[in-house]
Amino acid sequence: MRNFLPLAVVVSLGTLAACSKQAATTSDTTAAASSTTSSAAPMTASAAPTTNEGKIKNAMSAAPDSVSSGATIMDWPATEGGKFIQLRAGKNGWVCYPSQPAPTTAVGQDPMCLDAEFQKWAAAWMTKKPPKLTGVGVGYMLQGDRGASITDPFAMSGAANAKDWVVAGPHIMVTTPNTASLNSLPGVPTGGVPWVMWKGTPYAHIMVPVKG
């Protein structure tokens, strides 16, 4: 999970349910987590999309078609602290975001798609409160991310945390109400097998590497 979302995401995540016509069910989440096929090949470093059409396509590339085709697409605020903009209404309870804008033209791709439980997890993380989940949450980042500390949920600089800063390739994120149950998994990337990011914290979640 990248760790530099703007604080305005809290407001957006709190209203995502209203952007979709129905909530995701447990069976939907389970089925989506078992599928890693996406019609879009992993994107290489390039300029963040600027048109609505480009942003929608980019956001949808974060997850399999079975998820992203019915997801709400939300754009980032034009200014820090601003409101998120709905680019497309959804119907399956998932929400997808395009790659986060950057001041430079050469940026990595890091779109994401989150189900209802992972939206609650992200909102809790942004407010530094313990997540209160009622089931398993799933998030897709099939284009990878731009890097994060794997031990500190709130570290904001790769240079300051070089010893544990990791840029993840395509992956699925899975969280659970019982983070203690994740302690048996490794807390660092290990040969392409699932591992736990932010192990031992309330924000622990499984990172499942997938082939792009």
192-206 mean pLDDT: 95
d(CA 90, CA 71) in angstroms, rounded, equals 4
- The DSSP 8-state label assigned to residue 103 in this structure reads S
Residue 95 has pLDDT above 90, yes or no: yes
Res. 50 pLDDT band, cuts 50 70 90: confident
pTM of the full predicted structure? 0.78
d(CA 160, CA 23) in angstroms, rounded, equals 39
The predicted pLDDT at position 148 comes to 87
- Cα separations in angstroms, 114 against 105, 111, 174, 183, 199: 26, 10, 10, 23, 20
d(CA 147, CA 157) in angstroms, rounded, equals 9
Range with the poorest average pLDDT among 8-22, 57-71, 82-96, 112-126: 8-22
63-84 mean pLDDT: 91
CA 154, chain centre distance (Å) = 15
User: Mean pLDDT across the chain, nearest whole number?
Assistant: 79
The predicted pLDDT at position 90 comes to 95
Q: Which long-range contacts (CB under 8 A, 24 or more apart) does 44-47 make?
A: 44/109, 45/106, 45/107, 45/108, 45/109, 46/106, 46/107, 46/109, 47/105, 47/106, 47/107
Task: Check if the beta carbon of residue 23 is closer than 8 Å to that of residue 116.
Answer: yes
Q: Which residue has the higher pLDDT, 29 or 157?
A: 157
